[in-house]
Amino acid sequence: MADITSVIKRSGAVVPFNPERITNAIYRAAVAVGGRDRAIAEALTVQVISLLQANHPPGYMPNIEEIQDAVEKVLIENGHASVAKAYILYRDERSRLRQGKASQGGRLSESIPWKKIWYALDWAIDHGVHTISGLNRRIAAGELGEVITASEAAYHGDIDQAVDAIAAWRQQLKLILISGPSSSGKTTTTIKLSQRLARMGMKLVTLNVDRYFFDLEEHPKDEFGDYDFETPQALDLDLIDEHLRRLVAGERVMIPNYDFKTGQRELNHTPMQVAEDEVILIDSLHGLYPDMTRSVPDEQKFKVYLEPLLQMKDETGNFIRWTDIRLMRRMLRDASFRAYDPTKTLEHWHYVRSSEMRHIIPHVMECDAIINSAMPYELSLYKPALFPQFSSWVDIYRDDPLRQDAFERALRCHHVLSRIVATPDQAVVPVDSVLREFIGGSVYNY
């Protein structure tokens, strides 16, 4: 029986064999179907390794597909059909995603709000900021103030449209959901929406779903010890849904509490009841995820989706990716407000993006309003703080096959920031701007 010391990745790179990656993959699939027994995942991993080792000579190196085939076989043979299904579906999804990158061509994705994007592009062209060079020219011409004013006005215009739509539904509404991927600006936007709705006479009651996290030890993690808070299964979705159903019905419930320092949840912590004329407001990554609110009828919910839908191209004609904008926002916020190393933010981002693609993006078209939180001038603000770090990360991760995702993101962001004219003075940013959520100095308390 051969000891396995190395694995061949799809790229052909040879990396050290780490059994914990198998355990994490099995446990993640189990969590997706409601299981949370890591000991079972560890025992199944031993069987997977034994299957891989059998009948192979010394020095044998399995590839990723062989390992995944072995995982499926062991799960099925041990009677874990639902876990096997979740694992197979995830594997197939990743395969289709890889193939789609190569074959999609000009086909439009049904998960992207094209009408909203075309409007954003038209706006960017009208204001001369649809390219990096165009933005640079306006900054060089001393027109940064005009760009800022126009950008902020467009964002507030989207908020006003959402408020008008909510007002039209107000007689039947019981739940308003502010959703969007990480660092899209949900907190600031929720405050602004709340203020406007309050001025209209609406009574809002906030429910913080972060209180519903499972105990930290029950969360999936990777071989680097990085816990995955990004998946909706990190939350007790059944309890959230039950509480929402009861709150909408006027019942009193006991809200749990989650201590982020200890990673422990306390059930039945805080009483909550909603009056007949009050509307529940939730700001959450996964506000569009069906299982969170399945017991509340659609006609009683209003769903708002946020994304920085920046429409700006580089010199090669490639659009700047929204996920890269949000990555930079989160780096600045994590470093400023959470004492979290931006390097860790970069290394963790594959979790963020993976969860977005599986649990957030597919539901975008189910929303009732879309708010574009992009500010065409924001990358010029981020350059002074982040450009030197991206330069360093490109060198650090270039030859590390285990950090290929971090390298590719760092390289892409480095390229964009290298073309942007820096704006070192953050005083030009309005104190109520959504960008203050990330760079600090906001008029709002977060």
**Domain ranges within the chain, ordered by starting residue:** 6-101, 120-439
Alpha helices in 220-268 (DSSP H): 237-248
Q: What is the mean pLDDT of residues 76-95?
A: 72
The C-alpha atoms of residue 316 and residue 432 are separated, in whole angstroms, by 34
The C-alpha atoms of residue 210 and residue 28 are separated, in whole angstroms, by 20
pLDDT over 50 (residue 107):
no
Contact between 410 and 346 (Cβ < 8 Å): yes
The C-alpha atoms of residue 76 and residue 284 are separated, in whole angstroms, by 35
Count of beta carbons in the 10 Å neighbourhood of residue 7: 20
Q: Which CATH class is domain 120-439?
A: alpha beta
User: Would strands 14-16 and 369-372 be described as parallel, antiparallel, or unpaired?
Assistant: unpaired
pLDDT in tens, 203-226: 999 999 999 999 888 776 665 666
Q: Is 271 exposed, middle or buried (0-12, 13-18, 19+ CB in 10 A)?
A: exposed
Question: Band of the pLDDT at 316, cuts 50, 70, 90?
Answer: confident
pLDDT-wise least confident of 90-94, 240-244, 246-250: 90-94
Which residues partner with 341 through β-bridges? none
Classify the C-alpha dihedral 283-376-199-305 as positive or negative.
negative
Q: Is 272 exposed, middle or buried (0-12, 13-18, 19+ CB in 10 A)?
A: middle
pLDDT over 90 (residue 42):
no
pLDDT-wise least confident of 122-126, 134-138, 224-228, 404-408: 224-228
The C-alpha atoms of residue 442 and residue 284 are separated, in whole angstroms, by 21
Q: What is the mean pLDDT of residues 10-19?
A: 82
- Which helix or strand (DSSP H or E) is residue 266 part of? strand 264-272
Q: What is the mean pLDDT of residues 104-119?
A: 68
Residue with tokens 């993640």: 28
pLDDT-wise least confident of 107-116, 184-193, 254-263: 107-116
Classify the C-alpha dihedral 44-216-93-34 as positive or negative.
positive
Q: In what order do the strands lie in the sheet with 175-179?
A: 203-206, 278-284, 175-179, 301-307, 369-372
Alpha helices in 365-419 (DSSP H): 378-397, 404-419
Contact between 320 and 133 (Cβ < 8 Å): no
Q: Taking Cα atoms as reference points, which of 244, 355, 361, 248 lies closest to residue 291?
A: 244
pLDDT over 70 (residue 105):
no
Q: What is the mean pLDDT of residues 149-166?
A: 96
Which residues partner with 8 through β-bridges? 14, 63
pLDDT over 50 (residue 102):
no
Q: What are 120's two structure tokens? A: 């954003």
Contact between 296 and 245 (Cβ < 8 Å): yes
DSSP-derived letter for residue 315 is: T
